[in-house]
Chains A and B, each alone.
Chain A
Amino acid sequence: MSEENIISVHNLSKVFGDFTAVNTISFDVKKGEIFGFLGANGAGKTTAMKMLIGISKPSSGDAIVAGFDVKTQSEMVKKSIGYMSQKFSMYDDLTIKENITFFGGIYGLSKVQIKEKTKKLIEELQLEAVASKLVGSLPLGWKQKLAFSVALLHEPKIVFLDEPTGGVDPITRRQFWEMIYAEAHKGTTLFVTTHYMDEAEYCDRVSIMVEGKIEALDTPKNLKKQYNVDSMNAVFLKLARNIE
């Protein structure tokens, strides 16, 4: 982890009609950091994330992602990041190889590169036996691991992971996090949302959003100290109670 900021958000807001989904949030994410982005449903996490990945225009404020302004250079932002979500990750009716080729193609990889990467990726995930099977037939855990690798195909500087481990069994969840660690180790920045509070502990720093605002942002250790509790779950509960 270096001191260089790869995401820099300043007073970012998003307003839908008379509803403020994201209310002047500001934070920085450092290069190579695993940044946990937590909050209840409807707290504005997804809206904020959409602005950062360049698919939703901010109502006001600024955000620089990988050196590009999300307002004016959203195409460049999209090129420098990877994205994976629980809801959509890959095409169920394409095989593993076809999915990799397709996503490699849309990120502008050459044929040779795609071929090399496909081989490497399938080896790493030990998917040789099922490489020609439809993604839809894979267990959820495998699918998510594969989707994560695919999001990394074009070697993005930042990867956004939207609830990547929802519903996944405990062992696969941990294997997934080991992949995240390994990627962070290579210098990639990981921006992660999750509902599992134990996973919040795995992050270098965590922000907690409540009703459109970031109410807490620090390392898990400091947050626990600050709220004088022993788990992130308790931090979350205390924080919500304070707001109410």
Chain B
Amino acid sequence: MRKLIAFLIKFSVVILFILLELLSFGLIVNNNGYQKSVFFSSSNTVLASLYEISNSVVEFFYLRQANNGLAYENTRLNNEIIELKNQLNSLKPLMGDSTNPVYVQPENEISYIYAKVIHNSTNKMLNYITLNKGSRDGIRVDMGVVNEEGVVGIVSKVTEKFSVVIPVLNPKLQINSKFKKNNYSGPIVWEGKDYRFAKLNDIARHVKFSLGDSLITSGYTYSFPEGILIGTVDDFIIQESDAYYNIRVKLAVNFRTLSHVRVINYLNYEEQRKLEQSVSSQ
């Protein structure tokens, strides 16, 4: 017993070293799953508040870009309103004075939650974005995040007042995309090299496309409705022996200047998920 204690004292530093390293390694490995601890993350209230303060200073320098984006989107929405009004006016004579309830298209069953980016990185392998809205504003895990340019990412962690988004610039996220013109789909993954480009996989060699073609969300997930722009084809190569194209995609969103985003709230989320689960559990 005495020898054991002497041994423990002699090697106490080594033992402590090994213990701490195992603990760190455990944290790293655990983080690769979906059950992540909210405590050691930037959605922790204390840390997020610090980020919010620092952002309130830095935000000032990006006001011009944010303004341009908003003005652009404003114009686009105004045009859309005018167009819809015209359509409505032209259809009114056909309707007569019937009072049928308006049928809402299934694709329209989404609403947006507006949020501000309070922390963002583009220079790491695993980039994350912190938003200033959380569960009390209606944000849920798995919601899609977009801005006026296109797809930003998916919500991965939520606390009461804050949430953390996994952006496209993180290899943990694969976004299902398709060509706007012919509907062939494949996942888009970031490779960790350049914040402007990502890679599109699984496009077979018989598919016809050209440089500059738009890639949009496929609408097969709960996170994004169909048709939101992800990026455009920037470059592609295919070897004689390859079955699939190697496609480089220019991302629509400029992640360096990200300041305001919209979180997509899919109103029928619960119902669709329950229905699909009940089928798969049978």
A, B in one complex: no
